[in-house]
Amino acid sequence: MNRTNLILHAKDSIERGSKSFARASKLFAKQTRERSWLLYYWCRACDDLADGQDHGHGMSTIANPEKTIAAMRMMTARAHGGEQTGNPPFDAFGVVAQECNIPKKFADDMIDGFALDAQGWRPQSEDDLLQYCYHVAGAVGCMMAVVMGVSARNDDVLDRACDLGLAFQLTNIARDVAEDAQAGRCYLPQDWLVEAGIDPERILAPEYRQALILLVSQLCDLAEEYEASARVGAASLPFRSRWAVLAAAGIYGDIARAVRTSDGASLDRRIYTSKGQKLGWITKAFGQALTKRAKRGRQGLWTRARTV
């Protein structure tokens, strides 16, 4: 499949898989937009393979998860090396990896996160949680930064890009606590659950509801910290990329804010934000992108250097 057709498939994938990301991606310059779609196409396909889903919907049990992860690694390595795999999402990754010189380590790191899920892994501590979030989303943030023209050696900006991925994944986890629990997964740190007096194997039991709502709110607060850090990093990007990143941060940040103020409704139904809210952030982010934010440090935040 040629590049033009891969882009068409990738565009369809992002529109089906994430209306938030699809809307924000349209703010990129044409070349960056197409490359972001190609990268998303591969990320979405890997996630779906790992979870037995279709564009993030309908999680099902994978019969042989280790074999699935091994195949994912093999096809990713081949695509990264410039080979045609015959699998469109992986060939899409090959195209963008070759065009932007995406380090293979970031791709490997992302797949390592899916391998953790395949092993039935659960975080013991907050650091464990953030390490997982790096693998499945922070590494993607780093790859997206490279797609936007950031040098793979610019650790400061890559750290901020990683922070945005962490914010997105923490939001996903906060929104999907009940859905994950029903699938036998729990990404809330065991330390948090013990401190809150919640049985890790029965987190949805009615007697734990109020305590669980507080932990979900704690996740949303953590997501907001990393969102704020990522906004600082956006100042280093070209204007249209800065606009897109700030819009995505606001759109996804609103999901975390809606979960936090839902008073537990997120445990009963999936929380969405409106089309109007998304459009509002596109306008608001335009103004924010015109003014570069003052530099601020990352003191106290988790660092991806711990993955080395």
pLDDT in tens, 80-95: 999 999 999 999 999 9
Determine the pLDDT at residue 147: 98
- Planar angle of CA 227, 233, 234, nearest 5 degrees: 90
Indicate the DSSP class of residue 134.
I
| pTM score, whole prediction | 0.93
- Planar angle of CA 169, 28, 307, nearest 5 degrees: 35
Q: Letter for the amino acid at 256?
A: A
Question: What's the average model confidence in pLDDT over 179-185?
Answer: 90
CATH second-level architecture of 122-308? Orthogonal Bundle (1.10)
Determine the pLDDT at residue 58: 54
Indicate the DSSP class of residue 54.
B
At 76, give phi and psi (nearest 5°).
-65, -45
Confidence of residue 150 (pLDDT cuts 50, 70, 90): very high
Confidence of residue 60 (pLDDT cuts 50, 70, 90): low
pLDDT in tens, 219-237: 999 999 999 999 999 999 9
Sequence spans of domains, the chain:
1-101, 122-308
CA distance 29 to 210: 45
Determine the pLDDT at residue 53: 58
Question: What's the average model confidence in pLDDT over 57-78?
Answer: 82
Whether the per-residue pLDDT at 257 is higher than 70: the answer is: yes
Least confident of 55-59, 173-177, 202-206, 302-306: 55-59
Determine the pLDDT at residue 305: 78
Indicate the DSSP class of residue 237.
S
The CA-atom distances, in angstroms, between 69 and each of 8, 64, 110, 118 are 26, 9, 11, 8
